Structure 1
């Protein structure tokens, strides 16, 4: 793995650092399907990362615009109102964003940090090299004074490869932290904190616990877009593993699990069926009513977020919510 610097005519610079090898995604998918679908695990389970192929990403963009789906609007409301406060409180000269580096919320943070007069570097971090190259170039064109240091990596494996130096603010937005179950979250926080220097910060987006009817509506929309999004993962398995899933033979449901306080995205087999995974030379039998879990989305209490961060040595500086109190952005700092 290595890095390459790309000079630009406008004077800005882009560095690409790649830690994902060709074939990594395919190897990971095979390993996860063997463990989650072909093993003894119940319910059968896939990582939510496989929901986001090109079609899945398009469907998710549609979801964010649905009237029932509040998180994207709430986070944007917070950033519009408080990005300047976040920039000043962080004291950062470097913004690191885990996930997409092309969205409006990235620009809101970059603009706010630029207003402080300290911003020098932007580090977008994503698993897709093609997407990251495109988005890094776009940011560099819009912010010619900025050094863009893009890192192609998996935040489950490569957090230790984040570029060092300066005073860094790591943004992990969109409520994506909720896709990690408690043990996975603890490992994530610990690994991230281990790579931070004293004074570095984390800006974390979390969806807060709320009325169960609203939660159900957000993940079971009347237009059926979330159902299409969920079933699309079966198309991914068909394409990547030569499987013969019939997506229409699975029903989408996303109930709230009171014990774990998470929304659980499920695909439920509507009849007894056997699926062939040609690339793995395996068959998988589904009973009628059997569940395949494709995602969990944890919902948080504010005191829970603070405690989990503190356990990793990240201490809360400030917290902001939207007017309705549906979503929170928390700024924590390593001492």
Structure 2
């Protein structure tokens, strides 16, 4: 069965408007920031795939270990007819679930949602060829804006992997989970991956690897601004910084200006003092009771919680009440 034509709710104009809005707000803030979504042009996606293979970067391996061990149980408990993946990318880890559903039978539709038309077109074509009995319906959209566009009907399982929820600030997480619950019916399911609080000596190197790949990934946001907005950032003038905030229990990635600079960005004059930092990512880490409480507040009940053998990463299966 071939993949269905992509359902597009996000186009280049939408993306451009969002970028300009984020830049205008973030670079005029008292403490400058940009959201992490702007890392991910084609080069940024390549760099992130490289990061997931680094020895320091445990989350991908740990989450895959959980899914490999628990896929059959997830399929059995949920009995889902429709599988929906938010921020799907290549859907590599999702194949563990698709294989388990194929063995059991009963899954009719897979719906990957991603912001990238090209990535989604490629992955849906490949998945449709590899799972010929499955309807593959790709949606081009933003999981923070387009949850109301998810298909209805049948028992649904929504998966949100990779610890991506940790990139949202607490208020944003609450809004996302509430919106997710509103998009689901009672009895639908949410499977969510969360990186766990642990020794900073384990966490920080995952965001500051010895080979410098994460540093290049971090600086890539400046290259995106240069290309898309005609700015003149010198990425080499910024140092990659990764640090653990023990009070907020998250990792922050920042870019530190190594010299004073003044740039024209859109219609703004933006200046950096030597040593000034631009926050580019927050990656929250969770405790099992914390994610269960956040889910409960949004109207979900955590039914299962699993970790890898080293308790580095958690996967929660929650039911919409």
Give the TM-score category using the shorter length.
over 0.9
Matched with 1:298 is: 284
Residue 132 of structure 1 contacts residue 150 of structure 1 at CA under 8 Å; is this kept in 2?
yes
Q: Distance in 2 between matches of 1:13 and 1:243?
A: 38
Gaps of 5+ in 2: none
CA contact (8 A) 1:15 1:148 kept: no
Q: Distance between the aligned counterparts of 1:268 and 1:238, measured in 2?
A: 17
Classify 1:21/1:52 alpha carbon distance in 2 versus 1 (closer, same or farther; 3 Å).
closer
Count of aligned pairs = 321
3-state SS in 1 of match to 2:12: coil
Secondary structure in 1 matching 2:137:
strand
Partners of 1:225 and 1:16 lie apart in 2 by: 32
Task: Measure the CA separation in 2 of the matches of 1:42 and 1:286.
Answer: 11
CA contact (8 A) 2:219 2:240 kept: yes
Structure 1: runs of 5+ lacking an equivalent: 1-10
2:297 is matched with 311
Q: Deviations over 1:76-106 (max 9, x none)?
A: 1111111111111111111100012523211
Q: Which residue of structure 2 lines up, in the alignment, with residue 4 of structure 1?
A: none
Q: 1:90 aligns with which of 67, 78, 93?
A: 78
Distance 2:133 2:51 in 1: 35
The verdict on how the C-alpha distance between 1:145 and 1:12 changes in structure 2, with shifts beyond 3 A counting, is farther
The partner residue of 2:312 within 326, 329, 335 is 326
Cα gap change, 1:86/1:22 in structure 2, threshold over 3 Å: closer, same or farther?
A: same
Q: Which residue in the other structure is 1:117 paired with? A: 105
Q: Deviations over 1:237-284 (max 9, x none)?
A: 11111111011111101101111110000000111111222xx13221
Whether contact under 8 Å (2:86, 2:159) holds in the other structure is yes
Query: How far off is 1:13 after superposition?
Result: 4.8
Pairing partner for 1:208 from 164, 181, 196: 196
Find the counterpart in structure 1 of residue 222 from structure 2: 234
Q: Encode CA deviations 1:113-170: one digit per residue, 9 max, x unaligned.
A: 2222211110000111222122111111111111111111111110111000110000
Following superposition of structure 1 onto structure 2, how do residues 25-40 of structure 1 map, counting pairs within 5 Å? 25-37=15-27, 39=28
CA distance in structure 2 between the partners assigned to 1:132 and 1:103 by the alignment:
10
Distance 1:161 1:115 in 2: 29
User: Does the CA contact (< 8 Å) of 1:231 and 1:250 recur in 2?
Assistant: yes
Runs of 4+ in structure 1 off by over 6 angstroms are none
The equivalent residue for 2:94 is 106
1-side partners of 2:3 and 2:226: how far apart? Answer: 40
Shift of 1:46: 0.4
Tell me if the contact between 2:2 and 2:125 (Cα under 8 Å) persists in the aligned partners.
Answer: no
Residue 15 of structure 1 deviates from its aligned partner by 4.3
Query: Over aligned residues, Cα RMSD in angstroms?
Result: 1.1
SS at match of 2:93: helix
- Deviation of 1:12 after TM superposition, in Å, equals 4.4
Residue 6 of structure 2 aligns with which residue? 16
State TM-score, norm by structure 2: 0.98
